[in-house]
Amino acid sequence: MDAALALLSAGEVVAIPTETVYGLAGDATNGEAVARIFEAKGRPRFNPLIAHVADMAMAERIGVFDPLSRNLAEKFWPGPLTLVVPLRPEAGIHPLVTAGLDTIALRMPMGFGGKLIARLGRPLAAPSANTSGKISSTSGEAVASDLGGRIPLVVDGGSTPVGLESTIVKVEDGKVRMLRPGGVAASEIEALAGAPLLRGATAGIEAPGMLASHYAPGAALRLNVGKVGAGEALLGFGPERAEGWQQARAFLNLSETGDLREAATNLFAHLQALDRSGAASIAVEPVPSDELGEAINDRLARAAAPRDNLHV
């Protein structure tokens, strides 16, 4: 904690655990720190970042909360929900964080991240701690092996409990639009909002998580597989196995019992491990798309997409 505080105060970046995935954090009010985040990730600069806050007072100093956004924050914070709200121009957020937009994505993380921000007294800009376009890191080890040489500190807090990035929503005229599925299931938000969510992005920015190919492992991915091909690795789900699974080059199960929460937690680490098996292709058994399955299938589809748009 003290080492992280010293570096962040000096405008450096630090990888920190959150309940979703590891974040590459920098002081959101310091342009140099934010530039270092983009540099370390090799991230296209037009993509805005999430600003992480310690409490509701900090959030309200940065963004303008309508009643529904405030209800969502009260229900799901701290936790894996990001709210896009109008930015207060006087908040001191460096424009690199929002890529010049007049809105800002805000999230209050659980655990270490929240405590760190409270002690720093300033919001932290933090995208997922991975090279742009690669799988998000869910352990300190994964961060170190991806970004280790490029950042001064990785705070190792073990495996992240949720394992998927936050759900991103934006309230528009009293309706909630889901910009990215994630750690809070759509049904939980609908229960609070009392209406079905709007889906898909509004005109304007393309979120990087919305590029077709994102979260890409080195190997090709084949989804909804009923039969494993020669030399393929297999990513399983549930108690039933795809045909030919005994011949798989490597096998890992997202959840033996078919539990979507457990599967979300394991997704990125299992993809990375199967990638390291050296297989040219990873076959993935079907995963249901209800509840957290929506976010899991979203990440799998992006990981399976053709890679030629990676350099957009």
Binding site for ligand TXA (CB under 6 A): 18, 20-21, 23, 47-50, 80, 82, 84, 98, 101, 103-105, 107, 126-128, 165-166, 168, 179-180, 205, 207-209
18 counts as binding Mg ion under rule CB under 5 A: no
128 counts as binding Mg ion under rule CB under 5 A: yes
The bridge status of strand 103-107 relative to strand 81-86 is antiparallel
Residue 193 interacts with, from Mg ion, ligand TXA, none (CB under 5-8 Å by kind): none
Q: Which residue, 153 or 250, has its beta carbon nearer to ligand TXA?
A: 153
Q: Which residue, 197 or 207, has its beta carbon nearer to ligand TXA?
A: 207
Contacts with Mg ion, 56-85, as mask; x by CB under 5 A:
------------------------------
Residue 300 to residue 274: CA distance in whole angstroms: 14
* Single-letter code of the amino acid located at 250: A
Strands, E assignment, 148-197: 167-172, 175-180
Q: Which residue, 94 or 249, has its beta carbon nearer to ligand TXA?
A: 94
Residue 104 interacts with, from ligand TXA, Mg ion, none (CB under 5-8 Å by kind): ligand TXA
- Residues present in the chain in total: 312
> In the bound complex, what is the minimum distance in angstroms from residue 125's beta carbon to ligand TXA?
9
Supply φ then ψ for residue 220, to 5 degrees: -75, 155
Q: Which stretch binds Mg ion (CB under 5 A): 77-85, 89-97, 127-135, 143-151?
A: 127-135
Residue 288, classed as helix, strand or coil, is coil
Residue 223 to residue 200: CA distance in whole angstroms: 22
Residue 17 to residue 24: CA distance in whole angstroms: 9
> In the bound complex, what is the minimum distance in angstroms from residue 199's beta carbon to ligand TXA?
14
> In the bound complex, what is the minimum distance in angstroms from residue 288's beta carbon to ligand TXA?
22
20 counts as binding Mg ion under rule CB under 5 A: no
Residue 114 interacts with, from ligand TXA, Mg ion, none (CB under 5-8 Å by kind): none
> In the bound complex, what is the minimum distance in angstroms from residue 112's beta carbon to ligand TXA?
12
CA distances from 147 to 37, 128, 151 (A): 11, 11, 6
Residues in 143-162 at the binding interface with Mg ion, rule: CB under 5 A: none
The bridge status of strand 167-172 relative to strand 198-199 is unpaired
Strands, E assignment, 91-166: 103-107, 124-125
Residue 185 to residue 110: CA distance in whole angstroms: 17
The bridge status of strand 167-172 relative to strand 124-125 is unpaired
* Single-letter code of the amino acid located at 297: N
Q: Which residue, 34 or 168, has its beta carbon nearer to ligand TXA?
A: 168
Q: Which residue, 134 or 249, has its beta carbon nearer to Mg ion?
A: 134
Binding site for Mg ion (CB under 5 A): 128
